[in-house]
Structure 1
Amino acid sequence: MKRFVVFCLFLFMAWLTVACETEATIPIVTDTELLDIEGLSVSRARLDIGGLYRIQEVRVPTNSHLPGTIISYEESFAPGTMIPLQSEVTVLVADPPEGAYSLSPMVAYVHDLGYLTGPQSLNHPLLVSVGIRGTDLGIPVRFHDEMVILYGDSVPASGFRPSVGNWFSNFVARTRDTRYHEGLLFDAVTTNEDGVVQPFAQGAHDANVADDQSDNPHREVTKIPTGGLAIGNDFYIFYMSVRYWGFPGQWFVTYNQVLKSSDDLQTFTPVEGLRFYEDEAPNFGQIFVVEDPDDNDRVYLFGKPGGRSGGTVLARTLKSHFEDRSQIDYYLGNNVWLKGDAGLAALTANPHYVIQPPCSEMSVMYNAYLGKWMAVYLRNSQIVMQTAEQVTGPFTNTQTITNTDHYTGLYGGFVHETFTRFNGQVFYLQLSLWHPDYQVKWIEVVLK
């Protein structure tokens, strides 16, 4: 027994000696490394930090980051900096920029980033050098690695006064700019050999005369773009031939025609057979083209009559048959598509609206952040967005983006999936103004 007690005492002393030596070799941690927490919410950042250090928020108005997310550490710190354990550092957290507002529950804020055209815009030196001071619309179309933007009636003087100087029915601008939160800078405008803006199809500029006061069914005031599409190296533009401007919001379209360019937008020629006359296709006076991100072979045509009072119908076609109108399928509702003239006649006789009237200057894109299709358009005195689970609609859940309380002469509101950030949580639209000046603005919309 005595020997056993002595043996146990020996083992205990040996263990104590080893434990003390081991403890002496364990370093005492007093510092920690700052993590990269840019773009995280404050609550998520604190979870990732796990109590190694504390963060103190300082709110900064900015549109560079989503509201409520971390911009950076204070100036003297950066990811990788070593600091004492349990110490406190300051982080800058994004707040909505000054002047931002929201009119709908889905919208975190709307922010006016200024003019894209006109004397107050970054593009003014380029535009005025080619003869443009006032313009509208701004329909975006992707073409390889750049964006092509289609503008409507344009004049070399402030305000829309076609009688003053030249009057261009339309023009094309191009850009590779990607810093959308700072604005949009054009790289070039298509011009003629004299360096003056070159419309892709100049209107006839006939007198603005009502149908009951004219015996000329072929008269034309102007040609206005309504949509565009690139297939390989071919670039297509849809335009409406406007024969008469009536009271505000009313205009009459004789036909919608597709043009094609195969020489990098230098010249355009009509595509034979791709013309939609008012008498046979009244719901396709204005056509906006949309590609499906999940189906690279097919495109969708959203159509509506001239003016701002109609609803929107839908058609589709394969890119491989794009120039063949007989291959277009028309959507009759309830998952029914009917091809060719029979489908067009059926849709004309009984229009199925995927966007209910009134709808004007619509544009449609797939928003990956929402996981839904999104339409943006003018509805009465508001620019609104609606969403749909399928491209066939129905587009519902109307959210107001902005209205005439903020812009007295607003219309348009064109979007494209390229002009987005944060996977579509932030998107940008081109807003046309008739008053106080005939120009286009760049508007940022941030979703919750």
Structure 2
Amino acid sequence: MNKLRRVGSLAMPALLASTCTFFAWSPSVATAAPCLGSGSFGSSAGINPIPWLNGSDGRLPELRGRTQAVAHITGPRSPNDTIFRFGVLGTDLGIMWDNGGGQVLTAFGDTVGLSDNPLCGLVGDWRSNILLRSSDRDLSNGMSIDNSPVDRPNHSKEIIASKKIPGVEQTVIPTTGISVGPTQYINYMSVRSWGAPGEWDTNASGIAYSTDNGENWATDPLTLRPNVPGTGAENFQMGSYVKHDGFVYAFGTPSGRSGDARLSRVPEAEIRNLAVYEYWDGKAWVKANAAAASPIIPGPVSELSVQFNDYLGQFVAMYTDAGNSVVMRRSDRLESGWSAPEVLVSSRDVPELYGAYMHPWSKGSDLYFLATTWSDYNVMLLRTSLAD
């Protein structure tokens, strides 16, 4: 979600008429610009998913302490060869869930590949989101990717369509996923526009679903939560799903990276029925009133990931904090009792890291998660030892 910068003051008709586009990267805003044939990214930031063009060797960060970087998942340094297998040169996030059938599905945000027009430089082929599948249970040396929904050979397709019109709907980003029976669900946000670093405006959040293991997705307009202040829906623009005691618990945060986290729940079979959702008001569950939801984790909470950890016997919440460090909190209950944050990756060591999402197959004292570096705009696997 740390995206692309507008190049100049380009008129929309020219943008839409362009037959090839390139991307100017910055840690704040996403947009496409008409290809100028320069081969550059047109951004003073000079950020792109090719590390060698950033003055970097693209190697994994060398971390000290209980967290270590394990392997690249996407991009030029990835053993998954995502550039040529899936047309994925750069992407972010990596939201994972167990599909209930022996695989982990991983949804990514804005994705680019190699340009198919040499006049456009190296980067193009923008998709708002993609999905990769993995059955790898030995994460000690990385996370191998099996396959992906494609629209042509060796090209991951956009699974949830977006209009790609700045100020209308710039992109559509998955924020959490879950399986209920054989059906897969993604909660997504429709982004109207990107703002200053860490800020963006959404039109609404909604739920997409797939009955064929993520190959094809449908959106349900009855699940839309418009981003309207005062309704409570504005606090559930991004999410994190957890299954527990027959319910899907759905955490919510507002647009951007500075809001509190709130909590709702719904019986698993009713996940697409907003009328039966309940919201935690700090003391009790209140039905069908999102405005009643009170903060349970104080902000700033950025790109939240929550799951139950068998080793700790507690729920774990992971996100990046105000200082851009990856932190973890623990609790015996989803509704309350969250511990003080523990720093897993300090921004002093990796200042450009964001979007930490836990792997559902972490076991023992090893807690695995994916995170993105905006400097190289690709995803890596990390491991934290909970025994330390």
TM-score range, shorter chain: 0.7 to 0.9
Aligned residue among 352, 361, 367 for 1:409: 352
Deviates more, 1:178-187 or 1:396-405: 396-405
User: Which whole-Å CA distance do the structure 1 matches of 2:152 and 2:360 have between them?
Assistant: 34
Partner SS for 1:129: helix
Q: Please say if residues 115 and 441 of structure 1, whose CA atoms lie closer than 8 Å, have aligned partners that are also in contact.
A: yes
Match of 1:243 among 192, 195, 204: 192
Q: Is the 8 A contact 1:317 1:328 kept in 2?
A: yes
The separation in 1 between residues aligned to 2:313 and 2:379, in whole angstroms, is: 29
Q: SS where residue 421 of structure 1 aligns?
A: coil
Whether the 8 Å CA contact 2:280–2:292 is kept in 1: the answer is: no
Give the match for residue 285 of structure 2.
337
- The yes-or-no answer on 1:232 pairing with 2:175 is no
What letter corresponds to residue 149 of structure 1 in structure 2? T
Residue by residue, what CA displacement relative to the aligned partner does 1:43-85 show, whole Å, maximum 9, x if unpaired? xxxxxxxxxxxxxxxxxxxxxxxxxxxxxxxxxxxxxxxxxxx
TM-score (norm 1): 0.68
Partner of 1:120: 77
Q: CA RMSD in A?
A: 2.0
Choose the corresponding residue for 1:142, options 90, 95, 98.
98
Is residue 130 from structure 1 mapped to residue 93 from structure 2 by the alignment? no
Q: TM-score, normalised by structure 2?
A: 0.78
Question: Which amino acid in 1 is paired with 2:64?
Answer: Y
Counterpart amino acid of 2:158? Answer: P
Q: Cα offset for 1:404?
A: 2.1
Please list, as runs of the form range in 1=range in 2, the aligned pairs for 1:146-165 lying within 5 A after superposition.
146-157=103-114, 164-165=123-124
**How far, CA to CA, are the matches of 1:389 and 1:137 in structure 2?**
27
Larger RCO (CA under 8 A, 6+ residues apart): 2
1:361 aligns with: 303
Post-superposition offset of 1:398: 1.1
The answer to whether 1:282 aligns with 2:234 is yes
Cα separation, partners in 2 of 1:321 and 1:205, compared to 1, 3 Å: same
Structure 1 CA distance for aligned equivalents of residues 67 and 208 of structure 2: 35
What's the secondary structure of 2:163's corresponding residue? coil
Secondary structure at the aligned position of 2:111 is classed as coil
Q: Distance in 1 between matches of 2:374 and 2:87?
A: 19
2:136 partner SS: coil
Q: Is the 8 A contact 1:128 1:156 kept in 2?
A: no
Give the alignment of 1:199-218 within 5 angstroms: 199-207=158-166, 209=167
Match of 2:285, as an amino acid?
Answer: W
Cα distance, 1:346 vs structure 2: 2.5
Equivalent in the alignment of 2:126: 167
Displacement of 1:272 in angstroms is 3.8
| 1:91-130 to 2 correspondences below 5 Å | 100-102=63-65, 109-124=66-81, 126-130=82-86
User: Shift of residue 365 of structure 1?
Assistant: 0.9
Confirm or deny: 8 A CA contact 2:98 2:360 kept in the other structure.
no
Report if aligned partners of 2:304, 2:317 keep a CA contact under 8 Å in 1: yes
Distance 2:122 2:62 in 1: 37
SS of equivalent residue, structure 2 residue 140? helix
Indicate the SS of the match to 1:167: strand
Q: Are 2:142 and 1:189 equivalent residues in the alignment?
A: no
- Alignment of 1:255 onto 2:194: no
* Max Rg structure: 1
CA separation of 1:244 and 1:443: change in aligned 2, threshold 3 A: same
Distance of aligned partners of 1:163 and 1:306 in 2 relative to their CA distance in 1, 3 Å threshold: farther
Answering whether residue 381 of structure 2 is matched by residue 442 of structure 1, we say yes
1:135-175 residue CA offsets vs partner (Å, 9 max, x unmatched): 000000111211000100000149xx999422110000000
| Distance in structure 2 (CA, Å) of the matches to 1:251 and 1:384 | 22
Aligned-residue offset at 1:129: 3.0
Share of identical aligned residues, percent?
A: 29
Q: CA deviation at 1:416?
A: 3.5
Of the three residues 396, 399, 407, the one matched with 2:342 is 399
The equivalent of 1:39 in structure 2 is none
Query: Does the alignment pair 1:429 with 2:356?
Result: no
SS in 1 for 2:156: coil
Match of residue 325 from structure 2? 382
CA distance in 2, matches of 1:146, 1:205: 31
Structure 1: stretches of 5+ with no match in the other structure: 1-97, 103-108, 210-218
Letter of the 1:148 partner, please give it.
Answer: L
Aligned length: 318
Q: Residues 190 and 205 of structure 2 are in contact (CA less than 8 Å); yes or no, is this contact kept in structure 1? A: yes
What CA distance in whole angstroms lies between the structure 2 residues aligned with 1:112 and 1:263? 33
Distance 1:203 1:162, change over 3 A: farther
Unaligned runs of 5+ in 2: 1-60
Would the alpha carbon gap of residues 387 and 139 (structure 1) be closer, same or farther in structure 2, given more than 3 Å must change?
A: same
Residue 232 of structure 1 and its aligned partner are, at CA, apart by 1.4
Q: CA deviation at 1:264?
A: 2.5
* Structure 1 stretch displaced more, 162-171 or 384-393: 162-171
| 1:390 partner amino acid | R
Q: What secondary structure does 1:365 align onto? A: strand
Equivalent position of 1:222 in the other structure: 171
The letter of the residue matching 2:235 is N
1:346 correspondence with 2:292: yes
Q: CA deviation at 1:195?
A: 4.2
Give secondary structure in 2 for the equivalent of 1:155.
Answer: strand
Map 1:27-66 → 2, pairs under 5 A: none
How far apart in 2 are the matches of 1:157 and 1:386?
39
Amino acid at match of 1:178: R
Shift of 1:123: 1.2
